[in-house]
Structure 1
Amino acid sequence: MQVKNPRGIPQAPFIADVEDYLGLNKDVETALREIQGALAKYRYMEQNLAQRRKGLEDKVPDIKKTLSMVEFLQERREGKEKAPDADGDDLDDDLDDSAEDEKKPLRTTFELNDTLYAEAEIEDTDTVYLWLGANVMLSYKLPEAIALLRSKLEAAEASLKTVIEDLEFIREQITVMEVNTARVYNWDVKRRRELREKEALEGKKE
């Protein structure tokens, strides 16, 4: 039974005894073709996983930045809702500046293209629009957006961890198959040399 990792990637068998591996009916060229075929499959999986890893490593920071911004908007909105009434007698002077900051419009810059930015004033809102991929954008209330982004961040980080584990596993299997290739090739070179020496010795006896 072939051993596999948790994602079903097969473990490469190490050829400890080349002669036993070749058996009676398998020639060296056939064995080397089989090993090279398996090696090509591992390298193909490695390439795909490396691309996926790069995509996730780009995606995770983007989700974190979006989540941080939405959390900031939520905290700012909660601060406004909890701010004391300016006409009340219990207004604390120490909180006056922060309360005024909460009431000020939020100004920021947004990207128009790679080198051009524009300044904008963000109105107080309880809704944000999130890109979900495939040219799909949906509106969410701030708490819902935060929950969604946290879920997506957790899933992306878990996927990245899995991809890294699979990449390490596949690279180990590639090393094993490269060693197998060398062992079979060297065994064949040694066998051919011994055969030539035997034939030369028998020729001298004749």
Structure 2
Amino acid sequence: MASVSSTTGGYVNPRGIPQAPFVDVVDDYVKSREQVEPILQSFQEMLSKYKYMEMSTLRRAAGLREKIPDIQNTLNAVLFLSSKSGSNESITTTFELNDTLYAKAEVKPSQTVYLWLGANVMLEYPITEATDLLVSKLRSAKESLQTCDDDLEFLRENITTVEVNTARVFNWDVQKRREEKENAS
């Protein structure tokens, strides 16, 4: 199994996803018809792994796309509270309790805010620390989303490469069978 294009073989992206080799010359890659079935099986296994990674990355990206607006809204609220913390006047606001349930509240100026951290945990932070934390989480989420998008593009390219390899090896096998049939008759 010699001639896999050397320009693509062996590369692993920064997250450890290996690049699929491109079969340049099928005659050099497949020496006999007995090798066709194992090669096609290995391509099918490779394709399954890439599709699994793609689905996993799509789920992660969807979660990040859902989480980023929530972080941004929380950061905006903390920044608003920060801008009002110097005055003594309270703020009357309407806030969401549930998807369709809202309540009015009077918020007194404060130097602290409470943030949900998840898993039914809420902590009190000074406004400056809360702002720093939310800015950091927002930046991290956006970077993770960009990483997911890069990985998805890389995976789609490799899925296409494996599908092309599979088709080329299959077509090579069909051609060899025809040649054998013609030579036999």
Q: TM-score, normalised by structure 2?
A: 0.90
RMSD value, Cα: 1.5
Question: Aligned in 2, Cα 1:32/1:131: closer, same or farther, shift over 3 Å?
Answer: same
Q: Which 10-residue stretch deviates more, 64-73 or 104-113? A: 104-113
1:57 to 65, 87, 91: 65
Instruction: Check if 1:123 corresponds to 2:131.
Output: no
- Tell me the SS of whatever aligns to 2:183: helix
Q: Unaligned regions of 5+ residues in structure 1, if any? A: 81-102, 201-206
In structure 2, the partner of 1:38 is: 46
Q: Which 10-residue stretch deviates more, 63-72 or 118-127? A: 118-127
Larger Rg: 1
Aligned amino acid, residue 41 of structure 2: R
Q: Which 10-residue stretch deviates more, 36-45 or 131-140? A: 131-140
In structure 2, the partner of 1:72 is: 80
| Residue-by-residue CA offset, 1:54-73 (whole Å, 9 max, x unaligned) | 11111111111111110110
In structure 1, the partner of 2:6 is: none
In structure 2, the partner of 1:135 is: 120
| Residue-by-residue CA offset, 1:3-52 (whole Å, 9 max, x unaligned) | 11111110000011222212359521111110000000000000000011
Q: Which 10-residue stretch deviates more, 18-27 or 68-77? A: 18-27
Instruction: Give yes or no for contact 2:89–2:108 (8 Å, CA) kept in 1.
Output: no
2:135 to 150, 155, 162: 150
Q: Unaligned regions of 5+ residues in structure 2, if any? A: 1-8
Aligned amino acid, residue 190 of structure 1: Q
| Aligned counterparts, 1:7-18, within 5 A | 7-18=15-26
Shift, 1:125, TM fit: 1.4
Aligned residues: 177
Aligned amino acid, residue 50 of structure 1: L
Q: TM-score, normalised by structure 1?
A: 0.81
Instruction: Check if 1:27 corresponds to 2:1.
Output: no
Instruction: Check if 1:171 corresponds to 2:156.
Output: yes
Instruction: Give yes or no for contact 2:112–2:124 (8 Å, CA) kept in 1.
Output: yes
Question: Aligned in 2, Cα 1:6/1:26: closer, same or farther, shift over 3 Å?
Answer: farther
Distance in 1 between the 2:28 and 2:78 partners?
63
- Tell me the SS of whatever aligns to 1:71: helix
- Tell me the SS of whatever aligns to 2:158: helix
Aligned amino acid, residue 117 of structure 1: Y
- Tell me the SS of whatever aligns to 2:168: helix
